[in-house]
Amino acid sequence: MVGEWRPVSDTPGRLLRLLSLLQQRAHWSGPELADRLGITTRTVRRDVDRLRALGYPVDAAPGVSGGYHLGVGASVPPLLLEDDEATAIAIALGVSAGGAVQGIEEPALAALGKLDRLLPPHLRARVAAVRTTTLSLGGADHVAADVLVTVARAAAAQDRLRITYVDRDGRRTERRVDPYRLLSTGRRWYLVAFDVDRDDWRTFRADRIIEVVPTGHRFRLEDPPDAVDLVSRASGVSPYRYAARVVVRASADAVAGKVPPTVGVVEPHPEGALLTVGADDLAALAGHLVGLDLPFEALEPPELRHLLRRAGAGLVAAHE
**What value does the mean pLDDT of the chain take?**
81
Instruction: Report pLDDT for 251.
Output: 93
Architecture of domain 11-70 in this structure: Orthogonal Bundle (1.10)
**4-13, 118-127, 199-208: which range is least confident on average?**
4-13
Mean pLDDT for 193-208 is: 91
Domain 143-225: state its class: mainly beta
Domain boundaries, the chain: 11-70, 83-133, 143-225, 237-319
What is the full DSSP assignment across 297-309?
Answer: EEEE-HHHHHHHH
Instruction: Report pLDDT for 74.
Output: 45
Instruction: Decide if 146 contacts 107 (C-beta within 8 A).
Output: no
Instruction: Report pLDDT for 93.
Output: 67
pLDDT, greater one: 119 or 130: 119
Instruction: Report pLDDT for 46.
Output: 92
**2-6, 47-51, 155-159, 308-312: which range is least confident on average?**
2-6
pLDDT band at 214 (very low <50, low <70, confident <90, very high): very high
pTM of structure: 0.54
pLDDT, greater one: 78 or 59: 59
Q: Which CATH number fits domain 237-319: 3.40.50, 2.40.128, 3.30.70, 1.10.238?
A: 3.30.70
**4-13, 84-93, 145-154, 180-189: which range is least confident on average?**
4-13
Instruction: Report pLDDT for 137.
Output: 53
Is the pLDDT reported for residue 19 higher than 90?
no
- Are domains 11-70 and 237-319 of this chain identical in fold? no
Give the full edge-to-edge strand order of the sheet including 272-279. 264-269, 272-279, 242-248, 296-300
Percent of the chain at pLDDT > 70 equals: 78
